Structure 1
Amino acid sequence: MDKKFATQQKYFDLFTKDFLPNPTPKYHEVELKRGIKTVYIKDFPIESIKLKRSPYIVFIIFAKLLNFKFLGRWEKTLWEIPVLYKGIPFMLSHRKFGFQFTSFQKGANLTKLAKEAIKNIDNAIPFAEQLFQEEIKQKVIDGRISLSNEYRPIKERYDFFRRKAAAIYKKMNFPTPTGDALRDYEMLIMQNLLTPPEASFYTVAMLDAFFSLLEHSLVLIIPFLNHGFPENNNLEQFIGMNWKGKYQYVFSKSDPKTVAHQLNALIDIKEEYRNPISHGHFHKNGNSFNVHMENLGAIPMSLSKNRGNLSYGFKLPGDKEFKQICNVLDCFDDFIAKNKETKYGIQYIKTGFIVAFDKSSHEKYMDAMSSEKAFGNFLDYTSYQIESSANMDW
């Protein structure tokens, strides 16, 4: 046995030694018998915060590592595990409102004993996490995982900053001057004096949110792709790829010209506006240098690789540029929503439902994507299941 593993096992055994399985359990007694003493975790001291946050580890400790018997789902309950702590029967349960530790007896020392038991469970948690780590790793390798869907909050952040920026640009939307005034107007544009700084702040925040949303969607949409998972089903490696790599994999079976057009438009926006502000106001590859020119001094100049022409300085987006940026982002949203490879996946993602990456879930998604009607029914049924699960209505 590995020395580190042996040490973890030693301390785990120490903190769980006073727990035994209850050979004569009284399942559900908290609901069926009046007058029993119930001790809830909310009444315990702050060191039990781990259990408040994640009751699942209690199930791992007793049902997986200690192999105690348990009862599965019933009304408002996910699981129950009957135990003896120092000979006194207790019930561990994960119910609708969280973890509960229930006793079936009365007595002055009952609460004190319950707190002691909870403290020992709490102390066993870090060692249990280490002991169970290898099984968790194997489940990840096997693809038996799901990811939380944060599409809605990220989209709300994007929409918020876009509305804020649009409101400022709308206020400064006045006619371009003509004649002699045009020269002064163009000079003000060059010096970034016409665009209020708040407009730039909101625009960059909007772009940050958009590209976060893009990467999030490109990962969550994987189980909905007809061409399947990345090589070796290595989701962790896929998540680590840059956004362009994810984009190219997701749309690898779509029309190459359209895919390239959308990608290049997004790259232009990212390199022109988001990257320099997000990376210390510097363009990549020396494109923020001040070039020393005889008789002129140091002038800000950059060479755009995509367009092959020179541009002067770093210009904050004005009203015209903001509209162009929004048009590019809207075109991409329209593209991913209508593309045959991604349209159903993005519909699912927009609901906020958790996304599963195991093989059986992938097959279930594929079956549901046979038609708009079938997928709509699938979304309705999934919503019903989620609501029932949240309420523990089995």
Structure 2
Amino acid sequence: MPENAEWEKGQLGLLRIDLAKALKGFSSDAPTIDIYELSGSRLPRDDFPVPEMLLLMLRNFLGWRWYGPGEKVRWTVYGTFSGEPIAIELGKFGLTLLSSPALNKSQKRIEGQLKSAVKIVEKFIKPVLEQQIFSGNVGLGNHLTEFVSRYEFFRSQADKAFRRAKRKVKEKPTAGNEHPEGIISVLMLGYNRSMKAQQEGFYHSVAMVDAYFSALEHRLNLLRAFTGVPLPEDGFKAFMSKTWNEKLDELLGANPSPKARKTLQGMRDIKERIRNPFAHGGYENDKGALHVHIPSIGTIPGNITKFGKSARFSLIPIGANDHELNCTVFDEVDKLLSMGHLAGAYRLMEAGIDPSFDQESLQSYKEAISGGEEALERFIDHWSHLWELHTNMDY
């Protein structure tokens, strides 16, 4: 047996010794069980957030009998506690402990021991998981709809607020009113309402900008997988460590068109003028938030005349025109990421597929895209079928 295999066998033996101590009273020697004679109770999600850890521990490491999948059940493992039969199953409606009625008073103890044992397994497999992540043998949850919906919500709210700011207040006619106080009152009312609406638009627009950059970061990570381009040995870690700017360059190519360059520069300007200052406590990278006092003169902003382009230059940092221009840039970026050589990858992402970065998965995305529209739709339909199958546990 190779040296490495001997070491792994020894580590597994030590793990089983530790688990035997933590799971005192548990045994894999399960008798033939009629599962319907056992009483069931839900295991707390907070205590067992990753049910698969129980399957790994009890089936793979401790050799418990198991069954699965079944009707609305993904898996079940069987054993005993204090000589009485127990089973743990993951079903559509949660993780369930099935046990003999004789163990009703022991349930808290059973849960506590299982929870402690899972922590031992977690420590044992963590180096393996880290290595898999480093190698890119990982998947990403596709939450694009959530990120985009948040962006669209704040964009819509900002649009509404800025439209309200433009509305004029109509003066209600008053018989015999010859005094100018009424006109002044109406003007002030209109001004106050407009300022309030502009302020609301500003708040929502800042939130929109932040939401868009979050959605962009998520989108770029998903798109990188769906391009199907193979990754070098440490390529996944290297890509995830890049800035969104660097990720955009990798996805769009080294020589984008003049129009694309202009759009990307617009993104960088929004990042510097709005996103960074409001996301990082008001600090601007060009020192615009810093003010130097000059005796007998006053204060000078750290970015000097560039302060004219700062969000703080205006009473309302983001007005209707700024908001509209930002939206235009974002729309143009969306087009860049959904056209040309990225069209197929964007379609896979938009379909809600959870991508994986292992070489086999990357190759499958590449083949689906290169096969044309029909092949792409077949791939999406197949993935959707499997997703529904496992989500609903319709085995």
Q: Please indicate, yes or no, whether the TM-score normalized by the shorter chain is above 0.5.
A: yes
Check if 1:232 corresponds to 2:233. Answer: yes
**Aligned: 1:365 with 2:358:** no
Tell me the residue number matched to 1:74.
Answer: 70
Instruction: Identify unmatched segments of 5+ residues in structure 1.
Output: 176-191
CA–CA distance in structure 2, aligned partners of residues 234 and 66 of structure 1: 36
Residues 310/118 of structure 1: CA separation in 2 closer, same or farther (3 Å cut): closer
Corresponding residue for residue 278 of structure 2: 277
Equivalent position amino acid for 2:363 in 1:
E
Q: Which residue of 2 aligns with 1:185?
A: none
Q: Distance in 2 between matches of 1:288 and 1:112?
A: 63
Identity score, percent = 23
- Of 34, 44, 49 in structure 1, the residue corresponding to residue 46 of structure 2 is 49
Helix, strand or coil for the counterpart of 1:133?
helix
**Alignment correspondent of 2:94:** 98
Residue 147 of structure 2 aligns with an amino acid whose one-letter code is I
Q: How does 1:3-14 map to 2 (within 5 A)?
A: 11-14=18-21
Q: Counterparts of 1:1-394 in structure 2 under 5 Å?
A: 11-22=18-29, 24-26=31-33, 29-30=34-35, 36-41=37-42, 49-51=46-48, 53-103=49-99, 105=100, 107=101, 109-173=102-166, 196-229=198-231, 231-252=232-253, 255=256, 257=258, 259-290=260-291, 297-300=298-301, 302=303, 311=309, 314-315=313-314, 316-340=317-341, 342-369=342-369, 370-394=371-395
User: How big is the alpha-carbon RMSD for the aligned residues of Structure 1 and Structure 2?
Assistant: 3.2
Q: TM-score, normalised by structure 1?
A: 0.80
Report deviation, 1:54.
Answer: 2.4
- The structure with the greater share of residues assigned to helix is 2
Conservation of the 8 A alpha-carbon contact between 1:55 and 1:98: no
5+ residue gaps, structure 2: 1-6, 169-193
Summarize the Cα distance change of 1:66–1:292 in structure 2 as closer, same or farther, 3 Å threshold.
same
Structure 1 stretch displaced more, 310-319 or 345-354? 310-319
Q: Would you say the 8 A contact 1:82–1:92 is kept in 2?
A: yes
Task: Report how far residue 162 of structure 1 moved.
Answer: 0.4
Q: Which residue of 2 aligns with 1:183?
A: none
Cα 1:254/1:138, change in 2 over 3 Å: same
* Range with bigger deviation, 151-160 or 281-290: 281-290
Please give the per-residue CA displacement for 1:110-157, whole angstroms capped at 9, x wherever unaligned: 312444323211221211210121222233234322111121111111
C-alpha distance in 1, partners of 2:14/2:200?
A: 56
CA contact (8 A) 2:356 2:362 kept: yes
Separation in structure 1 between the aligned mates of residue 80 and residue 195 of structure 2, nearest angstrom: 74
How far apart in 1 are the matches of 2:285 and 2:223?
A: 30
Letter in 1 for 2:127: E
Q: Is the 8 A contact 1:92 1:102 kept in 2?
A: yes
Query: What is the TM-score of this pair, normalised by structure 2?
Result: 0.79
Query: How far is the alpha carbon of 1:10 from its aligned partner?
Result: 5.8
Aligned length: 358
